[in-house]
Amino acid sequence: MPTSDAQMRANEKYSKANFEYFTVKARKGTRLAIKDFAATRGESLNGFINRVIAEAMEREKTEADQ
C-alpha cells in the first residue's frame, strides 16, 4: 500500500522537528564500502555513522577526564 500524502507530510514534519541533517563528503566508492561494512554488522549507514561518532566523542571525553 503506498504512503498517503498526509503520512508523508506528517513524517516530514516529525523529521524537521526532531533531526538535524548534514553532509559528509567522501571519495567515490567509499559510501558503498561503509554501507556494506555497516550491513555486515546489522546496522544502517546512518546508524553506523552516528554510533561511531558517539563512541569517538565519548572516548575522547573519557581520555580528557583522566
What confidence score (pLDDT) does residue 40 get?
Answer: 98
**Does the pLDDT of residue 66 top 90, yes or no?**
no
* Average pLDDT over every residue of 24-51: 97
Number of domains in the chain: 1
- Angle, helices 45-65/30-40, rounded to nearest 10 degrees: 80
- Domain extent, residue 56, equals 5-65
How does residue 1 score in pLDDT terms, banded at 50, 70 and 90? Answer: confident
